[in-house]
Structure 1
């Protein structure tokens, strides 16, 4: 079961989750997204909320609606999303993380990049 937090609207949280899936290549570029009805059922939310999430992805240029056919992942969506996510990480998350690592006395040699 999916859990939603109070920090952002549910449609934005869903858009973020779907963007992560797109970043992972699911579904691949050029392929159809699950329908609004399927997503609403999967995440147990209102179809209008799903539609807002899809619209957010569309506004970002990641998906397109093809009348009568469904919602498709646009070519180049993964690369655009990766570029955007990298920029956000490097500008917003990395400085705070680097500061916390320094505060805790953790250096690069202490980090194991291979473990998951």
Structure 2
């Protein structure tokens, strides 16, 4: 994990974001245990409360579960849940604004599809 101490994003959010990315990319398999708050805080040289706050974000999102006396584990279905959340964010952050701008420019649905196909064919999009 790498932290940007100059970033305006709080450390606990950076922890949550990086753990989520690790779950999504398979760094932590579903059902597997993640390092404890104590382990992470010692490894990263940050306050255990900060680590716990970041982990609790993922608990609240339904990605991690606390098992009393055992630690934190990646919930089954966590990767799919992240995928669905990211698809929804992609729609809200990119597709909606793309459609608004296309409407302003008078770009039709077919022309938009042609532009997407053009991007795929000219090598500018790595699929």
User: TM-score higher than 0.5 here?
Assistant: yes
CA distance in 1 between partners of 2:17 and 2:62 (Å): 14
- Corresponding residue SS for 1:61: coil
Structure 1 residues not aligned, in runs of 5+? 100-106
Structure label with greater radius of gyration = 2
**When the two structures are superposed, what TM-score results if normalisation uses the length of structure 1?**
0.80
- Corresponding residue SS for 1:85: helix
Residue equivalent to 1:79: 80
Root mean square deviation of aligned Cα: 2.6
- Match status 1:42 vs 2:55: no
**When the two structures are superposed, what TM-score results if normalisation uses the length of structure 2?**
0.73
Residue equivalent to 1:113: 126
Structure 2 residues not aligned, in runs of 5+? 102-117
CA distance in 2 between partners of 1:19 and 1:97 (Å): 27
Q: Extract structure 1 runs of 4+ deviating beyond 4 A.
A: 93-99
Q: How many residues align structurally?
A: 110
